[in-house]
Amino acid sequence: MAPDGIRKFNVIVAACANGGIGLNGGMPWNLKGDMKQFARLTTLTQDPLKKNAVIMGRKTWFAIPEKHRPLKNRINVVISGTLSGLAPPTYQAGSIEEALTLLTVAPLRDEVENVWIIGGQSLYQHAMASSSLGKVYFTRILREFECDAFFPVAALEKMEKTEEDVGLPAGEQEDNGVPYRFEVYSAVEGLN
């Protein structure tokens, strides 16, 4: 159970064999199938009147091409102490806790269905240790790439791998000669 005033959230991430998630502010791979599933999962709601929220760090915000910012059909929350000039549907918060609390008060409380942490490295590290973590939607890239940002892959060992049917393609996928597969992990109560 999430602490009072804090929403449960999911994590979505793609990481290569060495746990890498990025290089020089971008992704060292181009996986159209992974990006399609990212967009689908982070916009998918049961209630057509609600949207999902995506929480990201400042570097992740700037890694998104300007023409795609904010991520459409989602409420964007950027964690930064220095960024300014953001306007709804984009909000700024000073910490992940502040962002999660922001989503529990009006007007966002009534507008948001699901919350997703989408990166980068420090947000992932914090999220994986949080008692508010629900699930991790993990794209396991079956190759190693040079990276300077990493996901705490070892934290997945404390979670339960599930066979949840959320419409993710099963088995090994491949884009641009890069093999990968989709995995879903659930937090185990009392282990975070």
Domains recognised in the chain with CATH numbers? 9-178 (3.40.430.10)
The per-residue pLDDT for range 92-114, each reduced to its tens digit, is 999 999 999 999 999 999 999 99
- Alpha carbon 9 to chain centroid, angstroms: 9
Reported as half-sphere exposure (CB side, CA atoms, 13 A), residue 143 has a value of 15
Q: How large is the greatest C-alpha to C-alpha distance in the chain, in angstroms?
A: 46
Query: Residue 46: which residues within 8 A CB-CB, separation 6 or more?
Result: 113
Question: 3-state SS of the chain: helix, strand, coil percent to 5?
Answer: 25, 30, 45
pTM for this predicted structure: 0.93
The per-residue pLDDT for range 136-173, each reduced to its tens digit, is 999 999 999 999 999 999 999 999 999 877 889 999 99
